[in-house]
Amino acid sequence: MNALHSSLKRAQSDGLARIRDDFPILKLRVNGRPLVFLDNAASSQMPQPVIDRWVRYQTSQHANIHRAVHHLSEVATAEYEGARKKLAAFINAREEREVIFTSGTTDAINLVAHGYGRRFIGAGDEIVLTTLEHHSNIVPWQMVAEEKGATIRVVPVNDRGELIFEEYLRLLGPRTKLVGVGHVSNALGTVNPVREMIQAAHEKGVPVLVDGAQAVPHMKLDVQALDCDFYAFSGHKMFGPTGIGVLYGKAEWLEKMQPYKGGGDMILSVTFEKTTYNVPPHKFEAGTPPIAAAITLGAAADYLAGVGFDLIHAHETDLLDYATDQVNRLPDVRIIGTAEKKAAVLSFVVDGVHPHDVGTLLNEEGVAIRTGHHCAQPVMQRFGIPATSRASFAFYNTHAEVDALVAGIKRVQKVFR
Ligand code: PMP
């Protein structure tokens, strides 16, 4: 009965994975085996409708935007601003001008570090980050702290990889000028209690930047409900192109912030004596932006919304539970990151085998995972390991692919026995 129930559930869950027919790259064979792509946290694959959008733009709509009256420029401008509108709706921003196109999460966080940090953080002030942060939400703040004489305070995690909330509350003090927190940890998959963290920070008048790179592909985002001050994410992790990302910022902050980059389009007037800056979002989009990528990102947002986050969540939860259970059954394999709330990431170490060897041997079987410190060295240090092997899932992955991963790990263990 139980076996029947679980195989029915599995078939139901994999029904969604028929969607994988939309993804041409998933039909590839690698080393003579069907590709099993489990490196989605690093970058996910693009479905045909999103690829088609790129081609349509390049073949019939391309010109530079904002600065000409000819037909193509007007079309490209309308499509680019249309993409902004789509992204604003996708994250439920109050206003379109709160969506700034950047080159990715890293660029978005640097924009906040420069535009907010260098203006509003001073000597003796404090920036609260967490042990779970990706380097891109650490290094820009270290640069600001070094320049301004500010201090970085770090929220610790417990042995499961969950933030210790009481410690977070303790770190919020009168000198705290910003909280920076990842919505979902790329190294462990922990889903952080960002809503509660934002509420606690706001009670002390502290703005919060959320690094949403690993959340946006997996859960419905509502920036108004979260009430975050800034939210950063990347196109290439949400089935869109590389070279594009979004910084959401509350209009009241964007108006007060200084621009990050100077150049064309971000000004209202320029003389050698004085330059007047444009209004948000243009103030933060100097030069020719990645027009094709922004428009294609709009199509990726449409695609994701079309699949639906309820389905995505149900399938990915099922997949992660199944993978966790299967990997837990393997002797001498340890899962790193066992938080109660996790999304789409399974990090593990195989006793006696370096993660790079795990990755290399799995690749021989066509299984793509990532190995290393995942640009999150403080997390690795916390768990006393140099690196992990990480399988990360998207809605197009299947239970059979988890089986391929598990079979691959067993082979690794045989080779190294
Ligand atoms: N933050 C997190 C949590 C990430 O996983 C990543 C990418 N691995 C980034 C930031 C940086 O994203 P990007 O390289 O697209 O700027």
Predicted confidence at residue 5, as pLDDT, reads: 64
pLDDT digits (tens, 9 = 90+) for 12-46: 677 765 799 999 999 999 999 999 999 999 999 99
pTM of this prediction? 0.97
12 CA → ligand 1 middle, Å: 32
pLDDT at 387 over 90: yes
Q: Which atom of ligand 1 is nearest to the CA of 182?
A: 3
| H or E stretch covering 335 | strand 333-336
- 11 falls in which pLDDT band (50, 70, 90)? low
44 CA → ligand 1 middle, Å: 12
Average pLDDT of every residue of the chain: 96
Q: Which of 184, 126, 192, 200 is nearest to 163 (CA)?
A: 192
Write out residues with Cβ below 6 Å of ligand 1: 41-42, 104-106, 134, 136, 182, 186, 211, 213-214, 234, 375
CA-closest residue to ligand 1 atom 12: 105
What's the rounded mean pLDDT across residues 75-103?
98
pLDDT digits (tens, 9 = 90+) for 152-177: 999 999 999 999 999 999 999 999 99
105 CA → ligand 1 middle, Å: 6
- 1 falls in which pLDDT band (50, 70, 90)? very low
Pocket test for ligand 1, best of 44, 297, 375 (most atoms within 8 A of CB): 375
407 CA → ligand 1 middle, Å: 29
Predicted confidence at residue 4, as pLDDT, reads: 60
14-43+308-415 in CATH: which number?
A: 3.90.1150.10
Q: Which atom of ligand 1 is nearest to the CA of 133?
A: 3
Q: Which atom of ligand 1 is nearest to the CA of 106?
A: 16
pLDDT digits (tens, 9 = 90+) for 333-342: 999 999 999 9
Token pair recorded at residue 411: 């082979």
| Catalytic residue set | 375
Residues whose CB is less than 8 angstroms from the CB of residue 165 and which lie 6 or more positions away in sequence, other chains included: 193, 196, 197
Predicted confidence at residue 2, as pLDDT, reads: 61
Q: Which atom of ligand 1 is nearest to the CA of 236?
A: 15
pLDDT digits (tens, 9 = 90+) for 129-152: 999 999 999 999 999 999 999 999
Give the C-alpha separation, 311 to 304, whole Å. Answer: 10
pLDDT digits (tens, 9 = 90+) for 280-320: 999 999 999 999 999 999 999 999 999 999 999 999 999 99
Pocket test for ligand 1, best of 106, 107, 130, 185 (most atoms within 8 A of CB): 106
* Residue 112, number of CB atoms within 10 A of its CB: 25
320 CA → ligand 1 middle, Å: 21
Residues whose CB is less than 8 angstroms from the CB of residue 41 and which lie 6 or more positions away in sequence, other chains included: 186, 214, 237, 344, 345, 370, 374, 390, 392
Predicted confidence at residue 357, as pLDDT, reads: 97
3 CA → ligand 1 middle, Å: 39
pLDDT at 8 over 80: no
pLDDT digits (tens, 9 = 90+) for 336-365: 999 999 999 999 999 999 999 999 999 999
| CATH top-level class of 51-306 | alpha beta
CA-closest residue to ligand 1 atom 4: 213
Predicted confidence at residue 12, as pLDDT, reads: 67
pLDDT digits (tens, 9 = 90+) for 57-74: 999 999 999 878 999 999
Predicted confidence at residue 68, as pLDDT, reads: 83
Domain locations in the chain as residue ranges: 14-43+308-415, 51-306
CA-closest residue to ligand 1 atom 8: 42
3-class SS at 141?
A: helix
Predicted confidence at residue 417, as pLDDT, reads: 85
Q: Which atom of ligand 1 is nearest to the CA of 234?
A: 15
pLDDT at 113 over 60: yes
